[in-house]
Amino acid sequence: MLRLFFCLIVGFVSGYLMIAWTPLTVPFVFGTFITELIFNPLKTFLALVCFLIGFVANALLIRSAIRQTICLWKRKGVRIGELVFSYSAFASFYALSTMNAEKTFVFFLFSFIYGMMTMDIFIERKR
């Protein structure tokens, strides 16, 4: 459960830093966006690192939420604390979407797809 709490904090902070460090161009012009990325290489690199760390941390939470839900439906043992921390990832995505919905949507999409790719439903591992 401590691991899930750590993933929740790391995922939210990384998402916040990624949103803060990527340039905001309104209206979106691809050339201006790329120019901003090129002229600020340190912020670009840090934003990409935060994006990578954040979407992996959130993918772990999404994967855990889906697994816990499947176990709940099959009436197997489920820890309520782990279920709450896992579903808290969606609350953190909501909080991030108040800052910038487009970047948060891309962040959520990568997290969700990676979480589903790393999940094996049919083979249950022995812990």
Domain carrying residue 20? 2-117
pLDDT digits over 67-109, tens only? 888 888 888 877 888 888 889 999 999 999 999 998 999 999 9
Comparing CA positions, the residue from 27, 67, 52 lying closest to residue 110 is 52
Question: pLDDT at position 99, please?
Answer: 93
Q: Answer yes or no: is 126 within a domain.
A: no
Contact 107, 55 (CB under 8 A): yes
Whether 26 shows a pLDDT value over 90: the answer reads: no
What is the number of domains present in the chain? 1
- Whether 51 is in a domain gets the answer yes
